[in-house]
A and B are shown apart, each in its own frame.
Chain A
Amino acid sequence: MSEPILSIRNLTVEIPTRHGIFKPVENVSYDIHPGEIRGVVGESGAGKSMTGNAVIGLLDPPAHISEGEVWLNGRRIDQLDPEEKRRIRGKEIGMIFQDPLTSLNPLFTIGEQLVETIQLHLDVSASEARERAIALLDRVSIPNPEVRFDQYPHQFSGGMRQRVVIALALCSEPSVIVADEPTTALDVSIQAQVLDLIKELAKERQVGVILVTHDMGVIADTTEQVTVMYSGKVVESGTTDQILGAPTHEYTRSLISAVPRPHTKIERFPQVSYGGRETVFKIEDLARNWEKPPLSTEGPLVQVQGITKKFIEAGSIIPSRRKYFTAVDDVSFDIKDGEVFGLVGESGSGKSTVARMIATLYPVDGGKVWFDGEEMTAMDAEGIARYRRQIQMIFQDPFSSLNPRMKVGDIVAEPLLHHNILDKGNVGPRVAELLDRVGLSKDAHRKYPHEFSGGQRQRISIARALATQPRFLICDEPTSALDVSIQAQILNILKDLQEHLGLTMLFISHDLPVVRQMCDRVGVMRQGKLVELQDTESLFAAPRTEYTQELLTLMPRLEQISG
């Protein structure tokens, strides 16, 4: 094997805080060879990004390297002064950030930003720099590079911007690129293209790439070497096949076991027990006094017929001059009592808008929704109030779905009090029971949401949703903001809800493997339209439309994972 171009030796980063010294990175070592892509994987807070920042000398004070060495092309770089470090940045080490929307200066054309970087590191004339820049844009597959050269970042889509960011990182032909979650903000189809580009460029230019990610699928499809981090430390390093196929460390094993499998459906996700206490939730106990009034019809619980939603894009006093954007276009489907119905699609496909229309958060601009044989879209205020007891929703972002200024007990009690199910004096035991059943500690009701982690907050959301004993639960990307181990836990609770309480669910997700694990039937949405609707297993086995086929091929294969 060739000499490593970048070598990290026993790196430790310290941040002094009010409560003592915090070490986000502790004793971390790994190497990068030319043309090699090393995945650094771990859950949020594992210190993987901080390591990357330390390597290129972009730690935000007061964080600093307290121990260890970083060697680049045989030269030690962690002790260089700031000016020397700056000269290495961009020239020898490039960087790609997560969010392409904020990585480019909005007031300069991309050409100006490219030429600036090229001239900074290479001794070339302005016209030569321009030529190089255009060639680079061409190389990262930007169509019409000559025209695009003079455009501003806001004229590019997210995926295109990330290509520009990659071009910028490649400007001076660096030997190493640190890519920090480069595709997390992108849709799957764009994600695949960008990852392919990074793979090609690494081979073609013999650049070593540190690919920081939380996504096992990205690791499986893109990297050759993997380093697994947990709470600041490296727990395991090895080739991708070895780490995914035969992990030796207990943490890696539990982490990989929690990754949803794209190709087989399993009953329950294995719980990640490493490092923390196992959370016990007792949904079946709720079933004992769960009231479930009989339905008034035999038909589907929810019927959606031709619903449409338009948003005003450009307002005007004159109606004919207003521009509309059709977010949801004539969508129809049924959800049977007790089933989990999935809606998948990329961002902007309208799947969340459908959910919010059914939840009455958005009025419909056309079409009808029936719930248990009653037309919800034609109900009076009293009918809507009754309807709202029957449906509840779990949201994507656990940090914004709970009011930070309300105690958890009050949050869970609010629906009970509002619907006059219980009065103030009697609500306490019920709230305590709900919180206990989703596995939260006894004193949880006295605390505020910020005292809980993302997974715990999502469980508080579930407790709130269960308070009115609803029949129908809408889950809008309930786990996409969570780490994979927490995701497994939340998905298990949702499965319990269906099994023990007989809840009907609308499950919105962009993540196909998760959908396969969760749903009985799946609808695929694209640009506001429902393009395909099938039983889950038939959809994965034999997709009927080209678009679904394409989505399936973009799914990470994770073939290396055994079992």
Chain B
Amino acid sequence: MLSYILKRIGQSALVLIIVGLVAFSMFRFVGDPIDNMLGQERTMEDVERLRAQLGLDQPFPVQYFKFLSNAAQGNFGVSFRQGRPVADIIAERAPATLELAAVSAILAVGVGIALGVFTAIRRDGFMANFIMSASLIGVSLPTFLIGILLIYVFSVELGWLPSFGRGETVKIGWWTTGLLTESGLKALILPAITLGLYQMTLIMRLVRSEMLEVLRQDYIRFARARGVSERTINFRHALKNTMVPVITIIGLQLGAIIAFAIITETVFQWPGLGLLFINAIQFVDIPVMAAYLMMISLVFVLINLAVDILYAFIDPRLRVSA
């Protein structure tokens, strides 16, 4: 068990180092950082000074190591576009994205699992078929269209909810939250639904197909042959077995929520990391792109690590053999 977890942690660290390499290569080789930072009017001395300051005159591995150790200390350099430290910009934007993602994730996982179980148990029922058909529309509807649709109905036509921004926020230390004001909560509703809906349909469809698969297994037949009631079979025997593979995918979906936040934030002009990132891509602001990449991979890796550990607790086969 312990060796299993240590192995996972080792793999996570490896992923981070690889991602760091990608991020650093981007920083180092995509465009010339000196060009980007100094602009047209510059002297040779400026170039040399900056080159030494950034450590660009040193060998690649040394540069990479420096980049990693800087990143580990939260130092990602200066944005080409805004001229401010990237770390400051990210700290400013992160709370908005994390709050949005958390609310959407709870929505997606909670409702997704419940609907998935429902449609698997009542697989031939009218409601289940209806939900399944609706979910296909949900999967086919791009996130940005859902956002536009919601804005059109609830902001433009009905005028109930705001169509952009976070509303009023409250500062708690460096963290700004929109969860404590009425306008903040109102502003959260549409983006959270937009972001959560797509993941919810995916989770629902996944839970359904996994559960149907489990319900076909011999031990379910045998449980039935022992006279175990359908209710117990569904919610005790089948559900637990369903969750084993589902948990892995849910972990991936949580990562996807943070990525899809980019789209939602663009549609709703939500002042989070995603909006920052998309602007960075449009203006080729490499330090911001690199920092976003590092940050977000840290989050993904942590989620996956948590999932792997959780997995070991649920599945006894893993617990003993490892």
Contacts and interface: CB of A to CB of B under 8 A. Distances in A.
Q: Do chains A and B touch in the complex (CB under 8 A)?
A: yes
Interface stretch (A93-101, A434-442, A450-458, A485-493): A93-101
B226 interface: yes
B222 A103 contact: yes
Nearest to B232: A116
Contact of A90 (B217, B225, B315, B317): B225
Given A90-B227, A107-B316, A117-B227, A58 B221 contact: yes
Contacts of A86: 224, 227, 229-230
The contact size tier of chain A is 20 to 34
B225 A95 contact: yes
B191 to A, nearest CB: 38
Interface stretch (A163-171, A240-248, A547-555): A163-171
A120 B227 contact: yes
A107 B221 contact: no
A90 B244 contact: no
B44 interface: no
A104 B221 CA distance: 10
A106 interface: yes
Contacts of A430: none
B51 interface: no
Given A97-B218, A152-B320, A58 B226 contact: no
A497 B239 CA distance: 55
A97 to B, nearest CB: 6
Contact of B316 (A90, A106, A120, A168): A106
Contacts, number: 81
Given A58-B221, A91-B227, A117-B226, A105 B316 contact: no
Label chain B's interface by main secondary structure: helix
Given A89-B227, A105-B223, A107-B241, A154 B316 contact: yes
B81 interface: no
B314 A169 contact: no
Contacts of A108: 237, 240
Contact of B222 (A87, A107, A165): A165
Interface string B294-322: 00000000000000000000111100110
Contacts of A56: 225
B232 A107 contact: no
B219 interface: yes
Contacts of A152: 316-317, 320
B228 interface: yes
A58 B223 CA distance: 11
A105 to B, nearest CB: 4
A98 to B, nearest CB: 9
A456 to B, nearest CB: 29
A56 to B, nearest CB: 6
A87 B225 CA distance: 10
Interface in A166-184: 168-169, 171-172
A107 B314 contact: yes
Nearest to B238: A105
A32 to B, nearest CB: 17
Nearest to B241: A107
A121 interface: yes
Contacts of A88: 227
A557 B47 CA distance: 95
Contacts of B314: 107
B2 to A, nearest CB: 15
B227 to A, nearest CB: 3
Contacts of B230: 86
B219 A168 contact: no
A10 interface: no
A102 interface: yes
A545 interface: no
Interface string A534-546: 0000000000000
Interface string B199-239: 00000000000000000011111111111111010001100
8 contacts: A58-B225, A86-B230, A90-B226, A97-B221, A102-B218, A103-B222, A152-B320, A154-B317
Given A56-B225, A58-B221, A103-B218, 7 more contacts: A58-B224, A87-B227, A90-B228, A99-B218, A102-B219, A120-B226, A168-B222
